[in-house]
Structure formats: structure tokens, C-alpha cells
Amino acid sequence: MTRTLVRELADSTGQYANISGWVHSRRDHGGLIFIDLRDHTGIIQLVIQPEHAEAFNFAGQLRDEFVISVTGMIKERDDALKNPNIETGSIEVVVDELRILNRSEPLPIQVHSDTMQASEELRLKYRYLDLRRTKMQQTLKKRAAYYKVLRDYMEENEFIEVATPILANSSPEGARDFLVPSRVHPGSFYALPQAPQQFKQLLMVGGVSRYYQIATCFRDEDPRADRLYGDFYQLDLEMSFVEDGETVRTTMEPLIKQLVTGFAGKTLITDDVPRIPYNEAMDRYGSDKPDLRFGMELIDLSDTLADTGFGVFANTIAGGGVVKAICVKGASTLSRSQIDQFTEIAKSEGAGGLAYIIFENDEVKSPIAKFLSVDEVAAIKQKAGAENGDTIFFGADQRLVVNKVLGRLRSEFADHFNLKDPNKVALAWIVDFPFYEWDNAAKKIDFGHNPFSMPKGGAEALRSEDKLAIVADQYDMVMNGYEICSGAVRNHNPDVMYEAFDVLGYDTTYVDAKFGALINAFKFGAPPHAGCAFGVDRIFMVLTNETNIREVVAFPKNGSGVDVMMSSPSTVDAAQLKELSVKIEE
């Protein structure tokens, strides 16, 4: 008899069915044994009676998560015994044949509840059991539906799916490569691609008009709650004959809106997605991935306090620094110990401390109020838009430090006061990123992101004296404080590419060695092109209201980058290393 799924039983009353699945629970009522049988579509109650001796004997042996197959009659339950909490609660299966397909040892983690008692480490060690939970099953199904939305949109917009190589060459994408030693070319290495960057640009040169793939990417970066270790997935795409980033942004923006409102059923803060220049985002929000579900913008008080007698502020401004602040609504309720906690957060970001002014009952409470004139306090209150019950927190240092400190505090205060509504989504495009940035460790300038972006103004811009003022035609999309996309108009001109590297002291020999295929291809009629890549794991995490990205992936590494289920990374045999011409030094 063909197997019947639990979801197919509701309309089959009075018929025989063959059902297979896991024992969800077992109840022995003496004369009858009741089994809740679970498959991937639902749960059904089985009734095993003593007159079916063999089935009754097997039923007595069953324990949670045994795998069984039963045949029996589908009957409607008595009204008093119906269970409204499950879809099949009005029917049951009276079993006349039962087979045990496989047995289960006592479970190391609970699989019957979505309220987990086990640690993440234990759940990941037994991930195959963890995946049996209803929540994880629903996540996997929803992720598959999510991928379908992505593919349908890309194909409707005439993008062609092309798979690019996994064994590739090392390329500077901003993170460490995973290297793979070559057996047939001793001493040489492949690299797992951090992104299909060069390949997708070569596809543009090859005449592909619009490319996409859901690409597996590999980066040896430290894991975070919003970043997987090792391998992750991105919706990678490129468009030829595109000379400005706005074309890419307007092409892809409807997909993200569709995911937010249609797929996830959330509300967009605004249908018009703002374009915010990088420098403006840093000055207003202290972050290049600002959460726009709430205000609390950074306020520059340097002009207001230009003549202040408060030494800390005055000396900072005189030294070329800034005094900025954020107004936190209702923060007069914070206790001293809570303010101390926020002070420690500020210090962890480079602040020396955290000055503040509390406005409560028309009074001013602050350790620094005595150093400020009445007019200065009034001007600060007016510029910050503060009212009774609010607290203003200050940052005084160099602009980069102050923005970083207040940007972090802005997010922390929003968490504390529950300003991040999970049912709402705020999108923004951050544009005009710096082409170069200062590498403080190396004491020199380097590419801000990667060398593949086109500087606005082309080669002429690269010849300006202030290299740190050069802007790349580069853009990120942010969603609720997370970067979900990065893209750029590509540098498709060999001369501009050479000059961009020359600024950093790299000659043509270096560029040819690193990017030979790309440079050579550009010499044969490369069209202008642009593209981007969306982090599909991170977007899905936000859309499903998860705060840990490992919850939305079937088999993630743990927070230390270890697969505790498969015991990887692991040592390998000496013979394997010898075959690869690799030697491990003690």
C-alpha cells in the first residue's frame, strides 16, 4: 500500500491508510495503547487494541522517536475526545498492523518542544535531531520558499543563472582566504572564492547581459551573531552596459520590498528607500548601517559650544575634534547603575567616559552642568529637542571616535527602550563610500572595500591630492541596522585599474599577476557593468525575527567556527599531507 502523509488523512475517514513516521509520544491505558505519530506534515493519533496481538506487542516496545509504519482504518473520534490543538484532532487511526522500522536510543536533546532547554553547543552536536523540531522544519520549508521568490524575480527580470567555480584563485575581498593545496601542482594553492567577483565580471565581458546565482562564498572571518563562519550564501548578480549604481538599485529594490511585505508580511517604514551618502550616515547615525526604525540622530554641538568655558569640550574643539550628543527620550528613568553600564559600553568603543544631562521636572541634573552656563544648557536642550524626562549623552573627541561611540550607544539605547519594532522594516541605500581608507596598523592608505569599484570621476579623480576624499561608485543596502547588500559600478578600464593600484605603490606586474585574467579581458571590448550581492542568510534572519544567524541555516558551525557534529576542522593522515606536498611545522 502506498504511504499516506498525515496531512492527507483528514478527508479519508472510513478508508485504510499506510502511514510512516516517528513516535512523538506513547500512552498506555492498559486495555489500549495510544501513539502520536509524527511525519513532516503533522501528527496523528494511533489506537492499538489488544485483539491485534502482534501490533499490540510491538506497540508495548515503542519509545519516543522510534521509526514505525502502520496500517489501519481512519475513523472520526467521539466528540468528547476530539483535539482542537492539531489539524488531525478530529480523527484517529485504528491500527491492525504495526512494523518497527528502526529504534532510537534515549534522546540527548528534546525534539518535541520549541522551548529549548539544551545549549546551542549540544543542539549543534545533534543537529539532525534538532532539525526534527517543528520550528526548524518550518524554517527549512520557509527558506526553500524564500529561495523560490529570489529565483522567480531574477528570471522574470531576464537574469541568467550561471554557476561559477569553487576552486579559484586568491583575491583581495577584505577577508582571509581558505586555501586548498594542489596535488598535481605541488607548492601551488587554489582559494575558495570569497565571492564570484572576477568570474561575474568576466561573464559581462563574455556577452552575458544579466547574470545571477545563489552563490556559496567562503571567508575566514570571526563568526558573529549575524555572520556565519566559513561558508555563507549570497544572491550574486551583475548587469552589463550599466554606468551608474542607481540602475542596479532601482532594479533590485522591488525584490527586497516584496520579501518584506509579501513574503514576511512586515510593514515598511517608508516605501521610498532613502539614498544616504556614507559621510552623512556616519555623521547622523554613527554607523554606515543605521537602523532607521527610530530617530535619535547625532547632534553636532561644536558650534554651539565654540566659546564654552568647560575645559573638556573647549580643548576638544580647539584640537580639531567635535562635541556631539544624542537625546534619549524617557531616559531620565535610567538608574545610576544603568548609566554606568552604558558608560562602560562607550569606553569599549574608545570614549574616555560618558557625560550626560538629565532634564526632569524643569530641573537639570548632571555632573557637568556646573561647568556650563545657563544659556549653553538652554541652547543644548533646544538644539537636541529635549523635553522633561529626556537625557542628553555627549561625546567629545575626534569625529571618527565620537561617531563610533554615539553610534553604538544609539543602538544600545534603542534596545533598552524597545525601539526596534520587529514587525517593521526600515531600508536604506548607503552610497558614495570612500575609495581609499587609512590603514592604521600598516600606517598607509588601502582600498576601502576592494579594487573592483570605479572611482567617481575615473582616472582624473585618482590624481587628486587628497586620496582619502576620493569617492567610489559603491553602495550598500541596510535593513534594520544590518548590512544586507554590497555593490558597485565596476572598474572595467585597465588604465584606471593600473592607476588605482599605482596610488598604493603596486606596479603593473603585481596587478597582472593578481588579476591577469580580468585585466586581459578588459582589453577586448569590456562593456561598463555594475552589480551587487545580497546576503541571503542575513536577510532571512531579519525577516524571520531571529537574532542569531545560526538559527536559519541547516548545518552551521558554532561560535568558534567548529562543526561539533562532524568534528571539523580535524587532523589528516600524514600520507594525505605528503601527497599534497604539505608539511606541518610544530
Q: What is the tens place of the pLDDT at every residue in 380-437?
A: 999 999 999 999 999 999 999 999 999 999 999 999 999 999 999 999 999 999 999 9
Percent of the chain with pLDDT over 90: 83
pLDDT above 90: residue 181: yes
**pLDDT at residue 586, rounded to an integer:** 73
pLDDT, tens only, 76-133 = 998 888 888 888 889 999 999 999 999 999 999 989 877 767 899 999 999 999 999 9
- CATH 3.30.1360.30 domain locations along the chain: 294-418
Q: Which CATH code fits 6-102?
A: 2.40.50.140
d(CA 540, CA 225): 13
- What mean pLDDT do residues 516-544 have? 95
- CATH 2.40.50.140 domain locations along the chain: 6-102
- CATH 3.30.930.10 domain locations along the chain: 157-275+428-553
Secondary structure (3-state) at 336: helix
| 175 pLDDT tier (thresholds 50, 70, 90) | confident
> Cβ neighbours of residue 271 under 8 Å, at least 6 residues apart?
257
- Report whether CATH 3.40.50.2300 matches the domain 157-275+428-553: no
Asked if 543 and 259 count as a contact pair (C-beta separation under 8 A), the reply is yes
Where residue 551 falls (left for φ over 0; alpha for ψ -120 to 50; beta otherwise) is alpha
Directed axis angle between helix 508-522 and helix 494-502, to 10°?
160
Domain 294-418: CATH architecture, name and number where available: 2-Layer Sandwich (3.30)
The sign one gets for the Cα dihedral 447, 449, 451, 457 is negative
**pLDDT at residue 135, rounded to an integer:** 92
Average pLDDT, the chain: 93
- What mean pLDDT do residues 63-70 have? 96
pLDDT, tens only, 442-489 = 888 999 887 889 999 888 888 988 989 999 999 999 999 999 999 999
| Residue 455: exposure state from Cβ atoms within 10 A (0-12, 13-18, ≥19) | buried
Torsions phi, psi of 49, nearest 5?
-105, 150
Percent of the chain with pLDDT over 70: 99
**pLDDT at residue 150, rounded to an integer:** 98
The answer to whether the predicted template modeling score (pTM) of the entire model surpasses 0.85 is: yes
d(CA 204, CA 526): 7
Amino acid identity, position 169: N
